[in-house]
Amino acid sequence: MDTKPTHRDLTSRTLRAELGRRLATLRLARNVTQRALAEDAGIGLGTLRRIEAGQPASLDNLLRLAIALDVADGVLNAVPTQEIRPIERVDSRGRERRRARPRKTDLPKEPWSWADGTDD
């Protein structure tokens, strides 16, 4: 039985290996040779072989493969869009957030002092 790994089990290495396996399976299911896919994607044959073997690859090469295999929408769907709720837009006076700020509960609770601990 094939079990789906949880986010705690995932590492970049396991993700690369799974992604490479899935890309190879998809390519074979579509009866496309590595050479033809590499040419269609505009990447080298060796690069495709390394990706399918789970080796590190650039994001650009992965995106080229997704486009060539017609799964680019799936890549975009992997990262959900975050819509601003109307109440948040009112609270922020119509401005969208550009950076994150720690919550006040994340800040240290003790008053700030010099590290040497001396009181002059």
Q: What is the pLDDT of residues 20-45, one digit of tens each?
A: 999 999 999 999 999 999 999 999 99
Q: Indicate the DSSP class of residue 21.
A: H
Residue 1: pLDDT band by 50, 70, 90 thresholds? very low
- Note whether 5 and 36 are within 8 A (CB): no
Task: Report the alpha-carbon distance of residue 39 to residue 15 in Å, rounded.
Answer: 25
Residues whose CB is less than 8 angstroms from the CB of residue 34 and which lie 6 or more positions away in sequence, other chains included:
27, 45, 48, 49, 52
Q: Which domains does the chain have, with CATH numbers?
A: 12-72 (1.10.260.40)
- Its pTM stands at 0.65
